[in-house]
Amino acid sequence: MAYDGRVIQHDLSFDVQRGDIFVIMGGSGCGKSTLLRHMIGLQSPAAGTVKYGSEDFWAADPAAQAALKRRFGVLFQAGALWSSLTLAENVALPLEEFSTLPADAIREIVSVKLALVGLAGFEHYYPSEISGGMKKRAGLARAMALNPDILFFDEPSAGLDPLSSKRLDELILQLRDSLGATIVLVTHELASIFAVANNAIFLDAESRSMIASGDPKQLLHHGPAAVRAFLSRGDLP
């Protein structure tokens, strides 16, 4: 990954397995969100490939890329809700754009998705009328609108109080278990990492590469010193 010839990260190689809750972790400025953008098709890599199954995303033609993107659901840091639309209208937007469902079927799906994230009865609220945690959950409902195979979350707990963050972690686990979705999560929040992740990579800003991969609970005890320090919020030995 590079910007204007400046390498951000190199020699990244990892697999996300179906059903994983996979965390991209590391310190500030190491390239976590940049890697996520490469994975969801917003930014092309300076070298290398991003494959979904046997399909190479960046070698595919635009139509094939669009088809792959419809298998993704993305929750951006701030929720990225349209402020002029109600929660129901926000969630309905991808269904109206990418499906041929009639209006009554879309309304039913929207109600189900909002109920899944604990927002039943808030269909007619605007983003300005709800809390930060509720905005994140509404953004998650929209990300799930098209029943994606893979959900991508960029710092979902950012700006949330500890209780709201814990509830969001619980919701992520419920979605993985009930929907069978694969989840890729960018975060530096230790509580979230240990609560939800079964697989992870650690991006190191100094070496500009990944220096560890695996279950964070195992990396806490057996990972490289920098990773153990990050996961324990301790000092390097």
| Structure confidence by residue, pLDDT tens digits, 180-203 | 889 999 988 888 899 999 999 999
List the one residue out of 208, 186, 199, 154 whose CA is nearest residue 1: 208
Q: CA-to-CA distance for 89 and 85, rounded, in angstroms?
A: 6
Q: Examine the pLDDT at 32 and tell me if it is beyond 60.
A: yes
Residue 218, φ and ψ in degrees, nearest 5: -75, -40
Give the pLDDT of residue 79. Answer: 61
Q: Examine the pLDDT at 80 and tell me if it is beyond 80.
A: no
What's the mean per-residue pLDDT of the chain?
88
Give the confidence band of 237 by pLDDT, cuts at 50, 70, 90. very low
Q: What is the pLDDT of residues 95-121, one digit of tens each?
A: 998 888 999 999 999 999 898 888 899
Give the pLDDT of residue 166. Answer: 84
Give the confidence band of 78 by pLDDT, cuts at 50, 70, 90. low
Give the pLDDT of residue 50. Answer: 94
Q: Examine the pLDDT at 235 and tell me if it is beyond 50.
A: no
Give the pLDDT of residue 2. Answer: 92
Alpha carbon 101 to chain centroid, angstroms? 26
The predicted model gives 157-169 an average pLDDT of 79
Q: Examine the pLDDT at 209 and tell me if it is beyond 50.
A: yes
Q: Examine the pLDDT at 236 and tell me if it is beyond 50.
A: no
Which residues, other chains included, contact 61 with Cβ-Cβ below 8 Å and sequence gap of 6+? none
Of 11-20, 37-46, 147-156, minimum mean pLDDT range: 147-156
pTM: predicted TM-score of the whole model, two decimal places: 0.86
The predicted model gives 40-52 an average pLDDT of 92
Considering the segment(s) 1-71+148-237 as one domain, its CATH architecture is 3-Layer(aba) Sandwich (3.40)
Q: CA-to-CA distance for 12 and 33, rounded, in angstroms?
A: 14
Structure tokens at 41: 């098709």
Q: Which residue has the higher pLDDT, 4 or 124?
A: 124
Q: Where are the domains of the chain?
A: 1-71+148-237, 81-146
